[in-house]
Amino acid sequence: MFEVVKQGLETSVQELPGRIGYWEQGFPPSGPADAWSFRLANLLVGNDRDTAALECQFIGPTLRFGRDGVIALTGADMAAKLDDAPVPTWQTIPVRAGQMLTLGPAKGGVRAYIAFDGGIDTPVVLGSRATFHMAGVGGVDGYALKAGQSIPLGAPANAALRRVGEARRPVIAANGPRVVECMLGPNDDWLDAPGIDRFFSADWLVQAKSNRTGMRLTGPEFTFSARAHDKRPEHGRDPSNILDHGYPLGAINLAGQTPIILIQDAPSTGGFINPFTVPSAALWKLGQTRPGEIIHFRRVDMSEAQAMRRALDAACTDASLDPLA
């Protein structure tokens, strides 16, 4: 186990593949916003890549370890210290019972991940340990960590000491606009051709009103096809209204003139069109994008999106790890 000394900013237990099979009841998959960093952290401590671990947002927690073991820190650099000594990220770190791990604010990116050998052993709720804050489900009593809690861990995994080389890590910190891959559909035929071209050529500002449910964007206005105006009354009055239907994960949901990217804790259905979708292999980029940063969308087709996913899956294996010298 470990003790939560300071909770950080909405530090939560997450797990993959998340809460599958309950979306029609209002429970989204949840899980880590940056699955690439999450999986590498687990591999570094000898766990299965999808084992429950901590997701830290913007400001990390302070933890006291209750047993000897190993941990790994990946994702955003939060200047972690172990008993006041700086510790490296992207490698296995031995820890002893009683030692204190302290994380500060993220230097770049948004989310860091802490994996523990044996994984976090909180109760499984609706098939997953992933925290879904809005419904108070999963994680620790349904919500983010709180100071004073003791978090159970599984049996130690006897992990080897390894690291992830720089070339095999996701690029977390932004230098200029973040390029995020995006596909047409499922409702792109509700926009006209200039509206689609404008979406892919514009810079989009991430609003402060963003969280694990959705990321709101500010940019140019959309223009619509005849289908959005000449429709049956049950589709609603606004051109972006449509008869309630399912929303895919990664959909760019158009609420009036405001695009909202639907991510890990997103709703399952609603009455707005989704003209574009961010493929699963690019979702990790959104998990490391701050409010105030600029996103530029690069158009890809299904074939390229599938190739990206295969490459990402290949990167999240032991082949990305090297022994520590």
pLDDT in tens, 245-270: 999 999 999 999 999 999 999 999 99
At position 13, the amino acid (one-letter code) is V
Q: Check whether 153 has a pLDDT greater than 80.
A: yes
- Quick one: tokens of 164? 């992830």
Query: Which residues neighbour 291 within 8 Å (Cβ) at sequence distance 6 or greater?
Result: 206, 207, 208, 210
Least confident of 61-70, 121-130, 154-163: 154-163
β partners of residue 273: 254
Write down the pLDDT at residue 173: 76
Q: Is 29 helix (H, G, I), strand (E, B) or coil?
A: coil
pLDDT of res. 26:
87
Instruction: Give the residues across from 224 on adjacent strands.
Output: 191
Would you state the torsion angle of the CA atoms of residues 248, 252, 255, 260, taken in this order, to the nearest 10 degrees? 110
List Cα–Cα distances, 62 to 100, 114, 143, 234, in angstroms: 7, 11, 17, 52
The 8-class DSSP code of residue 220 comes to S
Q: What's the pLDDT tens digit per position in 155-178?
A: 987 889 999 999 999 999 777 889
Q: Is the pLDDT of residue 59 over 90?
A: yes
> Which amino acid is present at 19?
R
Is 88 in a helix, a strand, or coil?
coil
Per mean pLDDT, which range of 22-31, 75-84, 185-194, 295-304 is the poorest? 22-31
Strand pairing of 2-6 and 62-65? antiparallel
pTM of the model: 0.96
Over residues 91-105, mean pLDDT: 97
The residues, any chain, with a CB within 8 Å of residue 70's CB and separated by 6 or more, are: 45, 46, 92, 93, 94, 95, 116, 117, 156, 157, 159, 161
Q: What is the pLDDT of residue 136?
A: 95
Average pLDDT over residues 128-153: 96
